[in-house]
Structure 1
Amino acid sequence: MSEPKVFLLPDLGEGLTEAELVNWLVAVGDEIRVDQPIAEVETAKSMVEVPSPYAGTVAVLHGEPGQTLDVGKPLISVTPAGATAVAPAAAPAVEPAETAEVAAEVYREEEKAGSGNVLIGYGTPGGHGVARRTRPRKSAAGTAVAEPTAPVSAAEKAADDLVLMRTRVPGKLGAVISPLVRRMARDHGVDLGELQGSGASGLIMRRDVEAVIKPSVLERPVAAPVETTPVPPITGAGAGDTDTRTGLGITGRTAVRGVRKAVAANMTRSRSEIPEATVWVDVDATALVEMRAALKKADPHHTPGLLAFIARFVTAGLKKFPELNTRIVTTEDTSGGSSQEIVAFDGVNLGFAAQTDRGLMVPSVRNADKLSARELDAEIRRLTAVVRDGKASPAELGSGTFTLNNYGVFGVDGSAAIINHPEVGILGVGRIIDKPWVVNGELAVRKVTELTLTFDHRVCDGGTAGGFLRYVADAIENPGSVMADM
């Protein structure tokens, strides 16, 4: 009887450590081929289909729809074609620890039998490594006894390098690293953003982190794990459940996960780390609305939307006020101290907020400063469709340098938005409505909108922020003259 091949849930990009299993696309007993989609999973970034690296018969599905799975844990077991299938009913008899160990060993040793396309758009090279035994052995009394951790051998380092290579994402190779490397860097205070990866295409490897950690730190013994009380899973409210603080009945409970979990964490970090300030101004957008109406009359099918024109003004404004197109980076030195620096960019990746069924997403138009209003419009429409379908890549969602937020579509005038960490500024645009406005000393009805800029006070003062905001406002009020200079 042939042992099934166990496929582990791969790193889905950006170093994400978990994913929610949305739907199985296969069932136990199905015959599958290499690269056939087997499951739909949702991460904090996007919805993706996971293809199988093996061909054969589905033996075990490791999870139920709605369950959150950890990266590196078994996803599916496949009996190779032509081999005797292992009965699915036998799966529960295998200990969870044993299953994980077998899965890890099979995944590393037999990966070369698959296509190499562990995930659509995520490449994996050939070759294999040797997995280290980490499962606790059992004593005669049946209690678990932890085995001592073996020194890291050359074979183990090679295996780690191979695992890291499997986490590549096109367009952001240097920023995608395994949970092991991220944890090592975090534990020893290494800023991964400052490392130059020695792997293929700049991939950050474990050896890169080890090279900057002092030997005394590496040799420090690992502390014993702290025992914690298990937290019960969130479930639906039963009949008669009452909130102890308010005395009101509870109608339901919703787990914070996926996109909502990522958004909550990012917004919390933004508010806790960034000393933000907000400035705003009312703008007469009549000339811009009229200019677009004239363009649409001449060419109904290729006229950019108002947001595309404003995006063009924003990128031009960021060139004049580059302080708002930066990022704050904190580094720690060998003495335990830290320092900060402002990192400037050669170009603008303009993010824009898009409301979807999965929550608020912020895709970014790469090199937006090099695009015309018509090109910006096309890319904004494309990215909006991609994120609403849940198909945006990590690079499309995590590479912005400044964000434009059109909350006017919700019928509101203004908002002091939270900066999209680690950016340093976000510009909000309110609804455009008819308002009384003084023109040449006389009262008139004009198309008015409100611009709101929230900025990181560490990178600039109010003069710079006000100058940028006034530039964009003037461009909206006099679009013809401004675009002539672009």
Structure 2
Amino acid sequence: MSSELQVFRLPDLGEGLTEAELVNWLVAVGDQIKVDQPIAEVETAKSMVEVPSPYAGTVAELHGQAGETLDVGKPLISIAPVGAAPAEPEAPASAEDPVSTGVVTDAEASAAAETYRTEEKAGSGNVLIGYGTPGGATGGRTRPRKGSVAVVDAAPAAAPEGSVAVPEAPMEPVVAGTRIPGKLSAVISPLVRKMARDHGVSLDAINGSGASGLIMRRDVEAAISAPEASAAPSAPAQAPAEAAAPAAASGDLDSRTGLAVSARTPVRGVRKAVAANMTKSRTEIPEATVWVDVDATALLDMRAELKKRSPHDTPGLLAFIARFVTAGLKKYPALNTRFETGTDGSQEIVGFEGINLGFAAQTDRGLVVPSVRNAHQLSARELDAEIRRLTAVAREGKATPTELGSGTFTLNNYGVFGVDGSAAIINYPEVAMLGVGRIIDKPWVVNGELAVRKVTELTLAFDHRVCDGETAAGFLRYVADCIENPGGALADM
């Protein structure tokens, strides 16, 4: 019965992520599950999400254990179809008989997973857990059938007359990636599209049994059940000892320092994503930094007065500064762009009709940057409410990849950590970041006389490829002037 198993691979959970940590299984072997039923909780570098099953049936195998990091495109769960008996464990097959066992080699599984990840990044239009992959819905994945290398010669002879034809393995990448205009509209369910792609079935070869030729789930299942399209079960999951290598035993000596190693902490999840993003930013972006000290006394006084009138819904200081930033980006749009380099070496600066304002938020999982979408349309009070909401969901690990990966400019309030300034690293692929330091009492000259004022430091890191110092300084000075004269600035916005 193993040939009947439906193997669901870990999908791209958004933003082209390549791996996820398996936090908890929501089902067990032998459980009966339904389509769209959550089967596992996984934590990506962006958020914690529940993964639903595209298949109904009996759970036959769980590929992985809690705490294990799984690659996108690798098997997550195997399910016996409704009405089929759960697959019995089979003895390992010999290398001479790959067709009879249907076992996929490690090389084939890795190749299939890599193809899967590449195509997910290109964008399939598939909606799995509430948000789509990047790109349009016109392209089809070209992933080869599992075990296709081993059964290329045998598959044509095994196909009975009248069965639904599936292209032979060598032709699959070409056929599966080709769409007849308007054909895709005959498939409405994203789960049906995903099922077809997972099993290497070309939708172009299927005549839908639904109204107006609509391709139904049963049509794809019929194509999958054809002998030539039978998919081999994925390679068994690694043993726990292989899947999650333990940290180095205490007492190991470091060859460089001669000291005992106290611990080795795997870099994964948010920390791994931050490390990769910061490295890419430093490697690709020729950044420059400008800064200025700002008298924020008037802003604090204005907020204190508002708080007296309305104690419960007065915006925080960050919301007011965010409002000034969005106004400044309208005046200096070069800082609200993205610098792109094409595969042919061509370069262009991409501008946006709108501002998604990201802000740095410290969580138990590390530093994340949720973004307020269309922040330029919001008042200070509305910005405050959205900042509080996004901070809460980010700290709970429930922010979506869209909320965490769609910013066009970042505001970083590192003053909450008690520091004055920072040589910030730009949040790639954005081109600028504004940092706000702590607000402290400092001597300040006011109308020719020395006074104690509330002073903060603003620091702007910017990509020198998109603008020169004049633009960066103009934006920074605009925000500083708004902070020093908040009443007049808000009146003009």
State the TM-score bracket (shorter-chain normalisation): 0.7 to 0.9
Contact 2:250 2:263 in 1 (8 A): no
Aligned 8 A contact 1:13 1:167 in 2:
no
Number of residue pairs matched by the alignment: 398
2:12 matched to 1:11? yes
Q: Is contact 2:142-2:173 (8 Å) kept?
A: no
1:166, distance to aligned residue in structure 2 (A): 11
Tell me which residue corresponds to 1:119: 128
Superposition map of 1:7-406 within 5 A: 7-87=8-88, 89-90=89-90, 97=104, 119-122=128-131, 131-132=144-145, 134-137=147-150, 150-152=170-172, 155-157=175-177, 235-333=246-344, 338-406=345-413
Q: CA deviation at 1:306?
A: 0.5
Partners of 1:128 and 1:307 in 2: CA distance: 44
SS of alignment partner, residue 53 of structure 1: coil
Deviations 1:344-388 (A, max 9, x none): 222211111111111111111111111111111111111111221
Deviation readout 1:43-74 (Å, 9 max, x if unpaired): 22211111122233221110111222122221
Q: Using the TM superposition, give the Cα deviation of residue 134 of structure 1 relative to its aligned residue in structure 2, in angstroms.
A: 4.8
Counterpart amino acid of residue 283 in structure 2: S
Deviates more, 1:311-320 or 1:21-30: 21-30
- Aligned partner of 1:271: which letter? R
**Secondary structure, counterpart of 1:482 in structure 2:** helix
**462 and 365 in structure 1: CA distance in 2 versus 1, 3 angstrom threshold:** same
Paired AA for residue 423 in structure 1: E
Secondary structure of 1:150 counterpart: helix
Over 3 Å counting, the alpha-carbon distance change for 1:6 and 1:133 in structure 2 is closer
Tell me, in whole angstroms, the C-alpha distance in 2 between the residues paired with 1:167 and 1:399: 26
Aligned 8 A contact 2:144 2:173 in 1: no
* Residues 281, 452 of structure 1: 8 Å contact kept: yes
Determine if contact 1:37/1:49 at 8 Å carries over to the other structure: yes
Q: 1:461 to 1:239 in 2, by over 3 A?
A: closer
| Offset at residue 409 of structure 1 (A) | 1.0
| Alignment partner, residue 201 of structure 1 | none
What is the identity, as a one-letter code, of the residue corresponding to 2:20? A
Percent sequence identity over aligned pairs: 73
Match 1:436 to one of 437, 443, 461? 443
**Partner Cα separation in structure 1 for residue 87 and residue 352 of structure 2:** 55
Q: Structure 1 stretches of 5 or more lacking a match?
A: 109-115, 139-147, 169-177, 179-230
* Amino acid aligned to 1:23: N
Secondary structure (helix, strand or coil) at the match of 2:104 reads helix
AA at the equivalent of 2:437: G
Partner-residue secondary structure (3-state), 1:384: helix
TM-score, normalized by length of structure 2? 0.73
Relative to the length of structure 1, the TM-score reads 0.74
Question: Cα deviations across residues 436-477 of structure 1 (Å, max 9, x unaligned)?
Answer: 222222222221111111111122222221111111111001
- Contact 1:353/1:361 (8 A) holds in 2: yes
Aligned residue number for residue 453 of structure 2:
446
Could you tell which deviates more after superposition, 295-304 or 129-138? 129-138
CA-atom RMSD in angstroms: 3.5
Q: CA deviation at 1:295?
A: 0.8
Mark the CA change 1:57 to 1:297 in structure 2 (over 3 Å): closer, same or farther.
same
Contact persistence 1:7–1:76 (CA under 8 A): yes
TM-superposed CA distance for 1:332, in Å, is 4.4
1:57 aligned counterpart, secondary structure: strand
Q: CA deviation at 1:298?
A: 0.8
SS in 1 for 2:388: helix
What SS does the aligned partner of 2:349 have?
Answer: strand
Counterpart-to-counterpart distance in 1, 2:293 and 2:338:
28
* Maintained 8 Å contact 1:352/1:362: yes
CA distance in 2: counterparts of 1:118 and 1:5, whole angstroms: 19
Contact 2:148 2:169 in 1 (8 A): no
What's the CA shift for 1:90? 4.2
- In structure 2, relative to structure 1, the CA distance for the partners of 1:235 and 1:27 (3 Å cut) is same
User: Matches of 1:463 and 1:4 in 2, distance apart?
Assistant: 63
- The answer to whether structure 1 residue 416 and structure 2 residue 423 are counterparts is yes
For residues 490 and 143 of structure 2, the distance between their equivalents in structure 1, rounded to whole angstroms, comes to 60
Q: For 1:379, what is the secondary structure of its paired residue?
A: helix
What is the distance in 1 between the residues matched to 2:456 and 2:440?
7
1:269 and 1:27 map into 2 onto residues whose CA distance is 40
Q: Relative to structure 1, is the Cα distance of residues 129 and 472 closer, same or farther in structure 2, using a 3 angstrom cutoff?
A: closer
Deviations 1:375-426 (A, max 9, x none): 1111111111122122222222222111100001111111010011111110
Whole-Å separation in 2 of the counterparts to 1:86 and 1:72: 22
Please name the residue that 2:213 is paired with: none
Aligned residues of 1:234 and 1:255 also touching (Cα < 8 A): no
- Which amino acid is 1:52 matched to? S
